[in-house]
Amino acid sequence: QVQVVESGGGLVQAGGSLRLSCQFSGRAFAVYTMGWFRQVAGKQREYVAAIGGSGRPSVYADSVKGRFAASRDNAKNIMYLQMYNLKPADTAVYYCAARAGTVVQDPRDFDYWGRGTQVTVSS
């Protein structure tokens, strides 16, 4: 059974940095595309980034391109989202998700989800 658990959220000032982690438990981590999504209360879940099983490709939403970087350590079954130059608009609950397949952006195509970690960026 696959499980994913996010950590690393918190409160940060605008312009600051934060790194989120997603711990994967289960078999064959390297065959899973891992994704990050975020959601603000009352709005739809939004794609942030995804990274293929080998670490490539990594695909980013336009809103975070150049500021966020996804990476993974397949030996440790963990994925990261390094966030730089954070903006108040980045405030959301961030979710980690996994799918056994290629990199896609539709949350409906991801099979396993964590419970989320709150990121709050103050102005």
The three-class DSSP label of residue 116 is coil
C-alpha to C-alpha distance for 12 and 31, rounded to whole angstroms: 33
Q: Please give the pLDDT value at position 84.
A: 98
**Which tens digit of pLDDT belongs to each residue from 33-44?**
999 999 999 999
C-alpha to C-alpha distance for 54 and 58, rounded to whole angstroms: 10
Question: Which residues touch 84 (CB under 8 Å, ≥6 apart)?
Answer: 17, 67, 68, 69
Q: Please give the pLDDT value at position 51.
A: 98
Q: How confident is the model at residue 16 (pLDDT cuts 50, 70, 90)?
A: very high
**Which tens digit of pLDDT belongs to each residue from 95-122?**
999 999 999 999 999 999 999 999 999 9
Q: Please give the pLDDT value at position 29.
A: 97
